[in-house]
Structure 1
Amino acid sequence: MPHPHVVIIGASSGMGHALARLCLSKGYSTAMLARRTAPMHALAAQYPDVPHAIAQLDVCQTATIPEVLQSTIAQVKGMDVLVHCAGYGWVNPQLDFAIEEGMIDTNIRGFTAVMDWVFHYFQQQGKGHLVVITSVAGLRGDRHAPAYFASKAYQISYLQALRHKAHKADLPIYITDIRPGFVDTKPMEGRRFWMCSAETAAAHIFKAIHQHKRVAYITPRWRWVALAMRIAPSWLYEKVM
C-alpha cells in the first residue's frame, strides 16, 4: 500500500517539526509549511531522497492560504492527510488585548480559513484525513490564559461540526482531534507534570493518524485529566484552578 501524502502546517518547530521528521524518516511524501522556512529546509536536507515541499505560510494572512496550499500540494502531487499544528498560546492573566488578539487571529481566524479550504479540497477529492492539534485546555475556561483556552474550545467544536458534515455527506473524510497536555516546546517554561517531549508527542500523533482516531490525548494518561475537567463542579474547578 503506498504511503499517504502528508501536509503539515506549523512544521518549523515543536510537535509539527517532530512529526515532519518522523514522516520523512518513514519515506512519506511530506509538505511542510510555516512562517520560518530555515528549520524545514535543514530537516529536509537530512532526507534528500524523500519527496517533499517547503513553503512559507502565515495562517494569519488568510488571503494567502488557498494559493500557498494549492501550490504546495501540487509539488508533492496530492494530499491525503493535513496536519494543522500552527497555534499560538500564551499566559495572559493581565488580559492584555494585544496578546489575546494574537491568539484569536492564529487559533480562530487562521485555523478556520485553513479548515474550510482543506475540507472543500477533501470534499472534491472524495476522501481525506484532517488532523488538528487542539489541547486539553479546550475543555474548560481558565483565568491564566482566557483566549487560549477559549480558542481551543472553538477548535474542538469546529472539528465536531466538520465530522458531522462529513458523516451527513457520507464521505470518508476522517477528522482527528489531538489534545495534548504539557509538551516540552519553546513557549513552555520549566518542567510540568506529565510533560512529554515533542518527539514522544509526534510518535503518539503518528499512531493516532494511522488508527483514524476521532480524539487522542497526548500522552494517553491525559484522558483522566480531561475527564476530571469535564465532571468537576464549577465551585471545585474554580477553587483548584
Structure 2
Amino acid sequence: MTQATAIIIGASSQLSREVALQLSRQQVELALLSPQPEMLAEFAASLPGKVTVHALDIYQPQQAISQLEQVWQSLGGAHLILVNTGVNHYDPALPWQHEDEMIAVNVRGFAAMCNTAFRLLREQGYGQLGAINSIAGLRGGASVAYHASKAFAANYLQGLSMHAQRLKLPITITDIQLGMLDKAAMQGARMWLVPLPEVARQILTALAKGKRRVCVPKRWRLMAWLTRLLPEYIYNTRRWKKKQPKPEKSK
C-alpha cells in the first residue's frame, strides 16, 4: 500500500464521523463500517478523499468477522483499524435485557472486532489498532455492565499489545479512554465538555504518536486520576447533581 488507509468500525456515531472527516482531509483512504450503511451515504459523498461504505452487524460477531475480512481484502489491507462500538443503558432496576445487550456488543462484539483486526494486522506484518474506550472502565459504576465491559476492553487491548511485543511485530495498540462526555452534557458540566472536532483531533494526535493508552479530552485526566485515587466509601457515595438555574435578581 502506498496510500494511507483506515477502516472505521462503528462509523455512524458523531465522533466517528468527525474522525473520518479529519482523516479524509489528510487524504487517508477510508472504509466506513456501520450496521446501517445507507445512513452514511450522504456523509461519505461529502468527504474530500476516497471513501467506501460497508455493512457490519456488531450484534452477530461471526457475521461481523466475515464482513470485516471482506472489507480488508477489498482494500488490500489497511494501516489503521479504529474500533468505535458500544452501547450504554442506565435503568436503576437493572433489567437483564439491557445488561445482556451491553455485554453482547461491548464485550463479545468488541472482542470479535479487535481479535480479527489483530489477526489481519499480524498477517500483514504491521499496522495500528485503535479503540474508543472509556474511563468508566477504571472502576465499577451504577451502569453495571457498561463499566465492567469497559474494564474488559482495557484489559483485552493490553493483552493484544503484550502479544504483539512477544511476536516482535510493529503493531501498535492504542486504548483511547474517553471522558464521560454524555454524562457531563446531561449534568450541564461545561468545564468537562470539549467541542467534538477537538476531541477527534486529540484522538488522531494520540494515534499518530503511537500512544499505548490515552485519556481524551486531556482535561479528563484529572477525573481519571481521582477515580483511581478515591477511597471506595467516597467513590460509592459521590453524585453529579444537575445544576439548578440561578434565580433572577429582582429589579
Calculate the TM-score normalised by the size of structure 1: 0.92
> Contact 2:5–2:30 (CA<8 Å) still a contact in 1?
yes
Counterpart in the other structure of 1:148: 146
- Work out whether 1:26 is the aligned partner of 2:21: no
How many Å separate the matches in 2 of 1:236 and 1:134? 25
* Distance across 1 between alignment mates of 2:84 and 2:224: 20
2:210 matched to 1:191?
Answer: no
- Judged with a 3 Å threshold, the aligned counterparts in structure 2 of structure 1 residues 39 and 198 are, in CA distance, closer, same or farther, namely farther
Tell which structure's C-alpha radius of gyration is larger: 2
> Comparing both chains, which one has the higher relative contact order based on Cα–Cα distances under 8 Å and sequence gaps of 6 or more?
1
In the alignment, which residue of structure 1 is the partner of 2:99? 100
Task: Calculate percent identity across the aligned residue pairs.
Answer: 31
Report what 2:215 is aligned to: 217
C-alpha separation between the residues in 1 aligned to 2:87 and 2:14? Answer: 12
Please list, as runs of the form range in 1=range in 2, the aligned pairs for 1:9-24 lying within 5 A after superposition: 9-24=9-24
Contact 1:53 1:75 in 2 (8 A): no
Specify the alignment match of 2:38 in structure 1.
38
- Alpha-carbon separation, structure 2, partners of 1:62 and 1:19: 24
Q: Which moved more, 1:24-33 or 1:188-197?
A: 188-197
Give a deviation string over 1:18-39, Cα, whole Å, max 9, x none. Answer: 1111111221100100112133
> Could you tell me how far apart the structure 2 residues matched to 1:118 and 1:55 are?
16
Match of 2:158 among 160, 169, 185: 160
Question: Structure 1 residues 13-22 or 145-154, which shifts more?
Answer: 13-22
1:82 aligns with 2:65: no
CA 1:201–1:2: 2 relative to 1, 3 Å: farther
Q: How many Å separate the matches in 1 of 2:59 and 2:168?
A: 32
- Look up the match of 1:227: 225
Q: Is the 8 A contact 1:88 1:103 kept in 2?
A: yes
State the match for 1:113 in structure 2. 112
Contact 1:183 1:198 in 2 (8 A): no
Q: How far, CA to CA, are the matches of 2:189 and 2:17 in structure 1?
A: 21
Aligned mates of 2:131, 2:125 — CA distance in 1: 20
Q: Secondary structure at the match of 2:157?
A: helix
Once the two structures are superposed, residues 174-204 of structure 1 have per-residue CA deviations (whole angstroms, 9 ceiling, x without a partner) of 010101113359xx64634402233222111
CA distance in 1, matches of 2:230, 2:182: 27
Structure 1 unmatched ranges of 5 or more: none
Query: Residues 73, 146 of structure 1: CA spacing in aligned structure 2 closer, same or farther, 3 A cutoff?
Result: same
SS in 2 for 1:196: coil
Segment drifting more, 121-130 vs 85-94 = 85-94
TM-score under structure 2 length normalisation: 0.88
Which runs of 4 or more aligned residues in structure 1 lie more than 4 Å from their structure 2 counterparts after TM superposition? none
CA gap of 1:85–1:238, structure 2 versus 1, over 3 A, is: same
Long gaps (5+) in structure 2? 240-251
SS of the equivalent of 1:239 reads coil
Q: How many residues align?
A: 237
Match of 1:8 in 2: 8
